[in-house]
Amino acid sequence: MNAEFGRLLLNWYAIHARPMPWRGKTDAYSIWVSEIMLQQTQVNTVIPYYDKWMQKFPTVQALAAADEHDVLNVWEGLGYYSRARNMLKAARLVSEKFQGQFPPTAVELCKLPGIGRYTAAAISSIAFGADEAVLDGNVKRVLARLFEFSVAVNTPEGEKKLWLLAADLLPKGEASAYNQAVMDLGATICTPKSPDCIICPVSSICISLKNNSQDKYPMMREKQPVPHIDVVAAIIRQNDLVLIARRPSKGLLGGLWEFPGGKLEAGESHAEALVREIREELGSKVIATHKFGVYRHAYTHFKVTLQAWFAELQGEPPNAFEASEIRWVKIEELGEYPMGKIDRSISNDLLRM
């Protein structure tokens, strides 16, 4: 069955491979950029960002020489911003330690910031032809249905067994095409809901299709409920300027600019939380005057509802006590500063006032 799976899959891929700007390329930089962007992000979303990135940073040396501000600006809107910061770190390491050439082995690639087992296998197989199997969400789903895999795929045990199975299925010398083929199969046909089994190239050997059990796989361990956080942000104006703060480089949305504020504590109103947060973050006293808008966003592990309020400074000028930097900028210049989705929505709404 293993050899048959590879043969059927490769024959299908030779005809139905999805056109992507990085397909057909074997330079490690292009493959690396695409694979990092594709982490937890759909292909159609990635393509315009990939094109923009490659125009701005066409080589690893160009990226290594870039400023973090410029990197985050190009990345803005793609989310999971630690990916962009790690790419900058990795590019500098490749330029300095490896003379601008990515190491060819998965073991060495895993030592670079932001590259885990899957990404290392993808780069080494596609760019260097190494016999390394990949295992992402699409591949897990394909293998789980193909074999009626009876262990939850989001557990350490399930992951370990699937890596072994993926390696066993890999046709030697065909890793580049095979890995891209199995990922395409999961993304386009063996989808999470309503898989298109009628046109699936491996339907003849799929155990779950034979048993009409596709909807039961992959098995998943139940996830914990996603917590909800209430946040407040201050729009502090001074003549035609507005105050923004840059988040510390580490952590969620690291290095991005935002309207200062923070989480509500138990029993606080939004106005009370805003006054406290600005005192703690900027060392300034403010008066919360009126609400500007309500914004919502879902992150991977929690959801946020943010209220933006206009606030007036009273007394001492603000200082960057908790932020890495603060700036007074014109509202029409806010687009020059990389921001997360909520803060970008606030800045866009301010522009429309």
- Helix (H) / strand (E) containing 29: helix 28-38
Q: What is the pLDDT of residue 25?
A: 85
**CA–CA dist 169, 312 (Å, integer):** 64
Report which DSSP code applies to 108. H
**H-helix or E-strand containing 345?**
helix 341-351
284 and 317 in contact (C-beta within 8 Å)?
Answer: yes
Residue 135 pLDDT: 96
Domains and CATH numbers, the chain: 2-216 (1.10.340.30), 228-351 (3.90.79.10)
Asked if residues 153 and 143 have their Cβ atoms less than 8 Å apart, the reply is: no
φ, ψ of residue 78 to 5 degrees: the values are -85, -20
Question: What pLDDT sits at residue 318?
Answer: 85
Three-state DSSP class for 245? strand
Number of other CB atoms surrounding residue 112 within 10 Å: 22
Helical ranges in 116-174 per DSSP H? 117-128, 137-147, 156-169
Q: Rounded distance, CA 280 to CA 83, Å? A: 29
Short-list 250, 226, 222, CA closest to 298: 226
Q: How many other CB atoms are found less than 10 A from the CB of residue 291?
A: 13
Q: What is the pLDDT of residue 35?
A: 96
Beta partners for residue 286, in sequence order: 313
Catalytic residue IDs:
35
Residues 6+ apart with CB under 8 A from 323: 245, 246, 247, 248, 260, 281, 282
Residue 218 preceded by cis peptide, ω within 30: yes
Task: Return averaged pLDDT per consecutive 10 residues of the chain, 353 residues in all.
Answer: 89 95 92 95 94 97 95 92 94 94 96 96 96 96 96 95 96 96 96 95 96 94 89 93 89 87 92 93 90 91 93 85 86 92 94 85
Q: Are strands 241-246 and 257-258 parallel, antiparallel or unpaired?
A: antiparallel
Separation between Cα atoms, residue 317 and residue 74, nearest integer Å? 32
Q: Which residue in this structure is represented by tokens 């779950």?
A: 208
User: CA-to-CA distance for 165 and 139, rounded, in angstroms?
Assistant: 11
Identify the three-state secondary structure at position 213. coil
DSSP class per residue in 269-294:
-HHHHHHHHHHHHHS-EEEEEEEEEE
